[in-house]
């Protein structure tokens, strides 16, 4: 009986699945695109529909529809299986989810119900009147409230707790694990969020994983904003407020404005600048940067110009070094935040977002604004800030440009600044590098044998059977031997899809690598002609190798004073072989 996993896997169109997330183009029997798992400018990521697998020949990430969703969308295996089963219309009858998957599903349900509860309180319930008034003051439209699922937590200690435990059947421990309630020292439970405007925090798939609550009482001693704690679902460093709701605008523009707060995003969206997200603070993580880089060529920061914002911009430069994305900065005149400008002057905001500068220009301008360039102390402070920035530039032309610019603004010669850059004792981080074993390149015979197998598996029917017999004698790699043995069973009626379906799980990835590595190149040649040529070369190499071995043995025998009868016969046989 075929398992649920196998049924779903067979039903999934892996090209369509991955193609919904990255751009793929036909390449031979496969499809290729830029790898979503590492930065690259030339595509080395291949997807093969027959094998139902993907392979990157740059970073070597590989797998099937399930592993792709686990890696790309941060799903567990169980989540990926349920997602694909629903997508393909297959009912799961035999799969038993793990305890972890069951827990995640319960927490996801609790968080989704919490969003509905908070949203109802804001939009309908009489106790949400104060929050509705505040929302009106902030200019939030009904459509925005609906799109982002904004809600209200009322001024009661246990309103949500009672709703989810008494009416929805959740245990107090589940709600603690979801970050929705807190257990007191006395063992009682109370709502984490009370009397706040509630922003659901969603993952890239749009599932609620946490909340951010904005305090309404400006005189209260509590923090203005509180967020969900770290849970199995919510990780602050992975979250981008607005990403799931506004991704279509981000992908369309191929650029995104990164801001600090929810209201920055909401007001910008209402001002018709929709390619925006907020990072819940001022520091962007590598995960967040890579997530944005999937859809963007440019990431534009519009953070506060305080020390935290400046350090965040510096960190972004470091994080982005291995990511193929351009970084720019948007500064808002008068020290205002994006929310204020976008809410009060939407047309001005739409023009403002067009005026961005590079991160280097921003940090240089900021250094000159914060220190007195007319004094020696000021010049020293400026160079102390900017020299690490200049030294860290990897592009020599770009570095030269900014050295000229900084030297001119400092009023010094370029060689003086360059001398100071050479003298700078920049802090270094000692990282213990793992020992890397250098692989010996495969010999020509191994390369040819592998190539012949790749060519062979691009054939079908009788041609496959004939050529399989020709190449089988040269195959030595144990995995390739097993592939040849399995292929031999139906060699005369070989069909690639049927062969792949019969492969044991442990052979599917090695076969995918063998087939896909040469697939694009093989499409440009006549397969049978190329096979004959490669086979002839391999046979010649084998003959030469035998002759070299025979000559070496002859030399060894000739250096002996006397030969045994067996050695005499061997000597004669070797001479006859060399004569051929």
**Average per-residue pLDDT in the chain?**
89
Question: Residue 216 carries which DSSP code?
Answer: S
Pick the residue with more confidence: 152 or 440? Answer: 152
Q: Which of 303, 289, 313, 291 is nearest to 261 (CA)?
A: 303
Reading the block at residue 104, the tokens are 């995640």
Mean pLDDT on 251-269:
94
Q: What are the tens digits of pLDDT across the range 291-349?
A: 998 888 899 998 876 677 777 777 888 788 778 788 999 988 766 789 999 999 999 99
The answer on pLDDT for 440 being more than 70 is no
The average pLDDT across 279-285 equals 80
pLDDT of residue 576: 78
Q: What does the CA dihedral 369, 373, 374, 379 come to, rounded to 10 degrees? A: 150
User: CA 220, CA 217: separation in Å to the nearest integer?
Assistant: 5
Outline where DSSP puts E strands in 203-323: 208-215, 225-227, 255-259, 276-278, 298-301
Mind listing the pLDDT tens digit for each residue in 104-120? Answer: 999 999 999 999 999 99
Over residues 477-520, the pLDDT tens digits come to 999 999 999 988 888 888 888 888 888 888 988 998 899 888 88
DSSP, collapsed to helix, strand or coil, labels residue 257 as strand
pLDDT of residue 404: 95
Helix (H, G, I), strand (E, B) or coil at 196: strand
pLDDT of residue 38: 84
Question: pLDDT of 242-251, one tens digit each?
Answer: 999 999 999 9
Per-residue pLDDT, 334? 67
DSSP 8-state class, residue 331? P
Q: Is the pLDDT of residue 445 over 80?
A: yes
Could you give the percent of the chain with pLDDT greater than 90?
Answer: 57
Residue 508 phi, psi dihedral angles, 5° rounding: -65, -40
Q: Residue 30, SS3?
A: strand
- Which residues lie closer than 8 Å to 1 by C-beta, 6 or more apart? 94
Answer whether residue 139 shows pLDDT above 60.
Answer: yes
Closest CA to 15 of 61, 56, 47: 47
Q: How confident is the model at residue 428 (pLDDT cuts 50, 70, 90)?
A: very low
End-to-end CA distance of the chain: 58
Question: Above 60 in pLDDT, residue 439?
Answer: no
Least confident window among 18-27, 221-230, 409-418, 536-545: 536-545
pLDDT exceeds cutoff 50 at 424: yes
Query: What does the pLDDT read at residue 325?
Result: 86
pLDDT at 579: 65
Residue with tokens 């006395």: 186
Residue 543 has pLDDT above 90, yes or no: no
Tell how far CA 559 is from the center of its chain. Answer: 64
Asked if residue 16 lies in contact with residue 89, where contact means CB atoms within 8 angstroms, the answer is: no
pLDDT for position 481? 92
Q: Which of 300, 290, 358 is nearest to 35 (CA)?
A: 290
Comparing C-alpha atoms, which of 377, 382, 371, 422 is closest to residue 405? 382
Beta bridge partners, 183, equal 189
∠460-463-469 over CA atoms, to 5°? 110
Q: How many beta carbons lie within 10 A of that of residue 79, not counting itself?
A: 21
Report the Cα 118 to chain-centroid distance in Å.
32
3-state per-residue secondary structure call for 145-182: HHHHCCEEECCCCCHHHHHHHHHCCCCHHHHHHCCCEE
pLDDT at 429 over 50: no
Instruction: With a cut of 60, say whether residue 431 has pLDDT above it.
Output: no
Average pLDDT over residues 233-247: 94
Q: Classify domain 98-234 at the CATH topology level.
A: DNA primase DNAg catalytic core, N-terminal domain (3.90.980)
pTM of the predicted model as reported, rounded to 2 decimal places: 0.77
CA 26, chain centre distance (Å): 22
Taking residue 80's Cβ as centre, other Cβ atoms within 10 Å add up to 21
- Check: CB of residue 36 under 8 Å from CB of residue 21: yes
| Buried/exposed 558-570: b ≥16 CB within 10 Å, e otherwise | eeeeeeeeeeeee
Lowest-pLDDT range, 47-51, 114-118, 266-270?
Answer: 47-51
The predicted pLDDT at position 472 comes to 87
CATH topology of domain 4-88: DNA Primase; Chain A (3.90.580)
pLDDT digits (tens, 9 = 90+) for 172-188: 999 999 999 999 999 99
* Segments making up each domain of the chain, as ranges: 4-88, 98-234, 371-423, 443-580
Residue with tokens 């093969």: 48
């Amino acid at each position: 009986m075929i398992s649920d996993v196998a049924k779903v896997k067979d039903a999934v169109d892996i090209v369509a699945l991955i193609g919904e997330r990255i751009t793929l183009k036909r390449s031979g029997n496969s499809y290729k695109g830029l790898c979503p798992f590492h930065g690259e400018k030339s595509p080395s990521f291949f997807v093969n529909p027959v094998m139902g697998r993907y392979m990157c020949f740059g970073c070597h990430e590989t797998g099937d529809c399930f592993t792709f969703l686990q890696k790309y969308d941060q799903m567990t295996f169980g989540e990926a299986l349920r997602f694909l089963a629903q997508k393909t219309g297959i009912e799961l009858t035999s799969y038993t989810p793990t305890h972890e998957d069951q827990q995640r599903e319960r927490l996801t349900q609790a968080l989704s119900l919490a969003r509905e509860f908070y949203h109802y309180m804001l939009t309908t319930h009489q106790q949400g009147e104060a929050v509705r008034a505040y929302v009106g003051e902030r200019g939030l439209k009904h459509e925005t409230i609906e799109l982002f699922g904004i809600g209200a937590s009322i001024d009661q200690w246990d309103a949500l707790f009672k709703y989810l435990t008494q009416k929805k059947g959740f245990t107090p421990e589940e709600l603690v694990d979801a970050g929705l309630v807190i257990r007191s020292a006395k063992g009682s439970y109370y709502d984490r969020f009370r009397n706040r405007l509630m922003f659901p925090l969603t993952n890239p798939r749009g599932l609620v994983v946490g909340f951010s609550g904005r305090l309404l009482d400006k005189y209260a001693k509590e923090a203005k904003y509180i967020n969900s704690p770290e849970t199995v679902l919510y990780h602050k460093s992975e979250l981008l407020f607005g990403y799931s709701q506004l991704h279509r605008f981000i992908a369309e523009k191929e650029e995104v404005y990164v801001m600090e707060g929810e209201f920055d995003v909401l007001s910008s969206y209402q001002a018709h600048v929709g390619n925006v997200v907020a990072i819940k603070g001022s520091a962007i993580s590598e995960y967040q940067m890579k997530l944005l880089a999937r859809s963007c060529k440019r990431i534009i920061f519009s953070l506060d110009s305080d020390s935290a914002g400046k350090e965040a911009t510096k960190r972004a430069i470091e994080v982005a070094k291995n990511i193929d994305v351009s970084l720019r900065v948007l500064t808002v005149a008068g020290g205002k935040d994006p929310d204020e400008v976008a809410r009060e002057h939407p047309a001005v905001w739409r023009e403002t977002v067009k005026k961005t500068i590079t991160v280097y220009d921003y940090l240089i301008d900021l250094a000159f604004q914060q220190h007195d360039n007319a004094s020696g102390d000021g010049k020293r402070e400026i160079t102390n800030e900017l020299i690490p920035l200049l030294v860290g530039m990897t592009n020599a032309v770009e570095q030269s440009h900014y050295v000229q610019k900084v030297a001119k603004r400092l009023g010094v010669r370029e060689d003086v600044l360059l001398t100071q850059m050479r003298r700078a004792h920049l802090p270094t981080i000692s990282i213990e590098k793992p020992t890397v074993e250098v692989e010996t390149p495969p010999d020509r015979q191994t390369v040819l044998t592998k190539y012949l197998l790749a060519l062979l598996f691009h054939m079908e029917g009788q041609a496959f059977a004939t050529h399989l017999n020709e190449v089988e004698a040269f195959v030595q790699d144990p995995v390739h031997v097993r592939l040849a043995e399995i292929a031999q069973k139906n060699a005369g009626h070989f069909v690639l899809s049927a062969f792949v379906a019969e492969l044991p799980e442990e052979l599917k990835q090695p076969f995918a690598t063998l087939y896909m590595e040469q697939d694009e190149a093989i499409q440009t040649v006549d397969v049978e002609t190329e096979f004959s040529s490669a086979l002839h070369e391999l046979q010649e190499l084998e003959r030469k190798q035998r002759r070299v071995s025979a000559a070496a043995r002859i030399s060894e025998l000739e250096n002996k004073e006397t030969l045994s009868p067996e050695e005499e016969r061997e000597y004669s046989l070797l001479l006859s072989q060399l004569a051929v």
